[in-house]
Amino acid sequence: MSTLSNLPEPQTPQAPWALFLDIDGTLLEHAAHPDAVVVGDELRTLLAGLDLQLDGALAFITGRSIAAVDHLFQPLRLRAAGLYGLEHRLTRDGRVEAADEPADIAALAGEIEAELASADVYIERKGPILAIHTRAAPHLLKRATQLVEQALSRLPTGYRVLAGNAGVELMPLDAVKGAAIRRFMQQPAFAGRRPVFLGDDTSDENGFDAVNEMEGVSIRIKPRGPTTARHALAGVGEVLAWLGTVSERNGAGPAALVPR
């Protein structure tokens, strides 16, 4: 594994290529509450242009639900894997393959909400995934992690705990970004292209592994420790600048911010 200090910045990908994007910490700065982030028209225009250039071979790969992504980026609607790949929209205008919240996860969410009743902790219920955000209360991260780890023994097999930069999540074992990327790469818009994936957190490492196996381009944003990514960018600003440069070199014209 490597760290930011010894990873090169990525070059402009050679065609044909496909683009996979994490959102929080990659395209947008993190906020204490997931709903506090704002998407500007400049970013929407950039993404619409890249989607046009790539003939639709662009997809979000995110821990957010697809409904939340659509709300955030409206009216722009792109292909997406939500909830770490438990939800998919494989075509621009296709249906969303959604994931429901199991009863045992709903009950656990209620218990943890009671235990960590604080305005500084946000507990996000995302179908079969339970996320505890402690960015505004870092002193509670240890306790939040203990609660979800203790719950594993009471849940059906097939769940795991994933610690992030500022929170912890409980999720099914099959909620992995690498599997989502592999599924997209089998779709007509992506087949035969070289995958490029940008992400910033531990949950993105599985995606980097998948992209590396496909001889693609893996890019970690602001690594805080070891990573399997082969390239790095220092922050969100650098990501947007790099994507802008890529778009210019690919000759994208103005793109309308409407679903296609």
Q: Judge residue 158's burial from the number of C-beta atoms within 10 Å of its C-beta, 0-12 exposed, 13-18 middle, 19 or more buried.
A: exposed
List phi, psi (to 5°) of 52: -65, -45
Q: Residues of 101-136 as b/e, b for ≥16 C-beta within 10 angstroms? A: eeeebeebbeebeeebeeeebbbbebbbbbbbbbbe
Which token pair is 228?
């399997």
- C-alpha 61: how far from its chain's center? 4
Six-digit token pair at 101?
Answer: 């919240």
41 is catalytic: no
8 Å CB contact between 194 and 233: no
| Torsion sign (Cα): 61, 200, 147, 112 | negative
DSSP state of 152: G
* Active-site residue list: 22
